[in-house]
């Protein structure tokens, strides 16, 4: 059976401190710079000919793609929420489920993607429901690990809505795992972050699980 350590993609032991210190520093690169020259160098390093027709524009496409996939660095939660916080008497679970998540793992710069479910229990205030997917996107469009992405979304909802509780559950497939072999194609990683009432009350978590599975409670 394949284990993580059998795969060069995941073999942390193969990377020494000397390797890390020996990486050529491209110190002149600043945030926002065009990375086309770096991509061109990478193509050469893997044995490709960056001048051939099919690759000639690739460095520029990768630059555009990387900027789009990491645009969350330039966005703030407050700007996205934009005062869409409203008074409400609703004091029960609000759930937006099956939010598409597309992110890049910070260990391999490979995609991970799947669904997020974001729930909260209002304490006098609700947030415009379309804002929850947008909050998720701010943090997904950065280099991430799924565990941290889950916590960052939960904390952001907590800070802007001040609810009685927040629950974020994310289910994703990670290309850095899936591409290793046929055995891992169907695997997904599930993470959650619970705050306030959801952390304290198992009955609320059971209700939430039923809602996520589409059952009327
Ligand atoms: Zn990875």
Domain ranges of the chain: 24-69, 79-212
Class of domain 24-69: mainly alpha
pLDDT at site 68: 96
Cα–ligand 1 centroid distance for 116 (angstroms): 19
Q: Express each pLDDT in 60-84 by its tens digit.
A: 999 999 999 999 999 999 999 998 9
CATH topology of domain 79-212: GTP Cyclohydrolase I, domain 2 (3.30.1130)
Q: Express each pLDDT in 157-196 by its tens digit.
A: 999 999 999 999 999 999 988 887 655 677 899 999 999 9
pLDDT bin (cut points 50, 70, 90) of residue 5 is very low
Q: Is residue 127 scored above 90 in pLDDT? A: yes
Q: What are the percentages of helix, strand and coil residues in the chain, rounded to 5?
A: 45, 25, 35
Residue tagged active-site, from 137, 152, 172, 176? 176
Residue tagged active-site, from 117, 137, 146, 172? 146
Q: Record the pTM.
A: 0.89
User: C-alpha distances in angstroms, 54 versus 7, 48, 59, 64, 129?
Assistant: 30, 11, 11, 17, 43
Q: Is 176 a catalytic residue?
A: yes
Q: Is residue 207 scored above 80 in pLDDT? A: yes
Nearest to 122 by CA among 150, 95, 155: 95
């Amino acid at each position: 059976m394949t284990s993580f350590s059998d795969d060069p993609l995941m073999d942390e032991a193969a990377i020494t401190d000397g390797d890390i210190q020996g990486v050529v520093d491209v110190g002149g690169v600043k945030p926002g710079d065009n990375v086309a020259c770096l991509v061109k160098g990478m193509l050469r390093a893997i044995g490709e000919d960056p001048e051939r027709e099919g690759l000639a524009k690739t460095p520029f496409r990768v630059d555009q793609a990387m900027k789009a996939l990491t645009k969350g660095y330039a966005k703030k939660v407050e700007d996205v929420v934009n005062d869409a916080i409203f008074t409400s008497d609703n004091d029960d679970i609000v759930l937006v489920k099956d939010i598409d998540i597309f992110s890049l793992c910070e260990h391999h710069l490979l995609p991970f993607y799947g669904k997020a479910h974001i729930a909260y229990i209002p304490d006098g205030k609700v947030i415009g429901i379309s804002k929850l997917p947008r909050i998720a996107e701010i943090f997904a469009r950065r280099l991430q690990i799924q565990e941290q992405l889950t916590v960052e979304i939960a904390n952001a909802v907590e800070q802007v809505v001040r609810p009685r509780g927040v629950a974020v559950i994310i289910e994703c497939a990670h290309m850095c795992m899936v591409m290793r072999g046929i055995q891992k194609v169907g695997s997904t990683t599930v993470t959650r972050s619970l705050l306030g009432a959801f952390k304290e009350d198992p009955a609320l978590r059971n209700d939430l699980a039923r809602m996520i599975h589409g059952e009327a409670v």
